A = this chain, B = another copy of it.
Amino acid sequence: MSQLDYASLAKTFEIYLEDHQLKGDPDTLYAPIRYINRMGGKRIRPVFLLMAYNQWHEDISPALPAALALEYFHNFSLMHDDIMDEAALRRGIETVHIKFGRNLAILSGDAMLIKCFELLLEAGRKNNTGSAICSAMSSAALIICEGQQMDMDFEHFDSPSEKDYIEMIRRKTACLLGTCLKIGSLLAGASAEVADILYKYGENIGIAFQVRDDILDVFGDSKLTGKQTGGDILRGKKNFLYVHAYNSLSSSEQDNFTKAYTAASSTGDINFILEKYKSLNVETYANQIQQHYFKQAVESIDSLSFLNISTLKSFSNDLMSRDH
């Protein structure tokens, strides 16, 4: 069976998304939803879901409502996280709570979360998979809230352990990628066992993906990433590089390091941190961790040799070697 590639799936999804933008009464509730949907992004989650579905069915159109559901979930979480993080910009434009006010960002976010379940039920109606895919979504959604809470809790002390940091990104980021593959395959009629293997694949790719993100923040080419070098440092956001460096230092050095990291946000001087990262070989280590999870992911789908997962693997490869 022919497999649709990333670009083709993303294009199909983009058209579907725009054709299904919400309008309603009062439209004040729906305007922020259309706004965040149009902010763009790589649409990784819906494409992941469609790729999984495409393993079994050439015609991916029955999976489009579910793909939209996952994009709605993702955008709901961005909308609420941006309030919690007091983020003013996303992809260079105003966040929803800045543009429309905090109350609308709360309520429109709620509406997107509800719409996510409605769309999953719509997708599952034809082949009676609605309950199964909603169950997968609700379990995942709760884990994702826990991940966001862990992330916020981490702000109250100097550093979590590496293990706890990985657990946090497993819940906050990786779980949703795994869930996209799981829901796509359940909707396609795959067994729970196969769906769980694809979940595990997506989860490991997700962890590797987030570590890659943290690496690019400091060691990426800002011309390619379009982001300021060391943005996480300047925002005082403790990412994987910080956590590894912190836990590699002696307790007497840890204090200075944390102070310097925090100070960098006010002075704008990230050089001390960069020097520290270099002396501790943080980039090499982070690359190894990324590779470790990527390898785990690839190994986990070896048993699925009856599928033609080349498109999925090729897309994941691109994600792992991406420079932006």
Q: Report which A residues bind B (CB closer than 8 A).
A: 24-26, 28-29, 80, 83-84, 103-104, 106-107, 109-111, 113-115, 117-118, 121, 124-125, 128, 130-131, 134-135, 137-139, 141-142, 145-146, 148-150, 152-153
A83 to B107, CA, bound (A): 11
Which residues on the B side are within 8 Å of A152 (C-beta)?
Answer: 28, 103, 107
Shortest CB-to-CB span from A69 to chain B, Å, is: 11
Instruction: Summarize A's interface: helix, strand, loop or mixed.
Output: helix
Which residues on the B side are within 8 Å of A131 (C-beta)?
Answer: 121, 124-125, 128, 130-131, 134
Pairwise interchain contact B115-A142, C-beta atoms closer than 8 A: yes
- Which residue, of A25, A29, A150, A153, has the highest number of chain B Cβ atoms within 10 A? A29
Pairwise interchain contact A107-B134, C-beta atoms closer than 8 A: no
Shortest CB-to-CB span from A72 to chain B, Å, is: 12
**Known A106-B83, A113-B113: A29·B134 in contact at CB below 8 Å:** no
A103 to B137, CA, bound (A): 23
Top 3 A-B pairs, shortest CB-CB distance: A130-B131, A118-B138, A29-B149
A9 to B87, CA, bound (A): 46
Pairwise interchain contact B146-A24, C-beta atoms closer than 8 A: yes
Pairwise interchain contact A106-B106, C-beta atoms closer than 8 A: yes
Pairwise interchain contact B130-A106, C-beta atoms closer than 8 A: no
What would be 13 A-B contacts, judged by CB atoms less than 8 Å apart?
A26-B150, A29-B145, A84-B106, A107-B145, A109-B110, A110-B113, A111-B145, A114-B141, A114-B145, A115-B138, A117-B134, A118-B135, A130-B130
A299 to B148, CA, bound (A): 49
